[in-house]
Amino acid sequence: MRKARLGQQADLDDTTQHFASSPRRTNVGDPRYLGYWSKEEILHFLKELLESERIGVTAYAAIGRTADSQVADLAFESELAQAAICILLKKEMAARGGANIIRRKRAPPVPNSDCSLGRTIGFASRNQARLADMIEEAVLNIFDSKLNAKLMYLLLLHRKQVEQLETFVT
């Protein structure tokens, strides 16, 4: 009977989960040890964010071309804010040693000039909501408090822009 138990126990030992060791070259003081993004992952995120922000600039420009003067003025202000964000992101990337990945490889998709104002605003609204979601997710994975503060500001700006775009439709 004892032998049977040992055989069962051996099977249980095979199914026991073993925790993976910490990644090589990481110590307790390293942010990656706690699950935060590495420098390369942060640079990749900033590059993706920059490309999406460029799409936002073109979306607001398309709104300005198809809207009446009051909406066009508000869209122009938002377009300038998006351009300022692009500059901020380029500076962040350069400060982190990512100056070589800043160059744009392809032009961002531009809403068709034949689209109605409603479709163009819908496109811009979805883009801004996607940007806000990207930023909100990234803040949880970035250890740098200064970058997180900037990202939180951008998150609030994008949420405000989504609300503003929704008022354009109504």
For 41-55, how does the pLDDT look when each residue is reduced to its tens digit (9 = 90+)?
999 999 999 999 999
Instruction: For residue 81, count other CB atoms closer than 10 A to its CB.
Output: 19
Q: Tell me the per-residue pLDDT of 91-113, one tens digit each, with 9 for 90 and over.
A: 888 888 876 665 555 555 655 55
123 in Cβ contact with 168 (< 8 Å):
no
Q: What residue ranges of the chain have pLDDT lower than 50?
A: 1-23, 26, 28, 33
Q: Is the pTM of this model over 0.75?
A: no
> What are the structural domain ranges in the chain?
36-169
CATH superfamily assigned to domain 36-169? Ferritin, core subunit, four-helix bundle (1.20.1260.10)
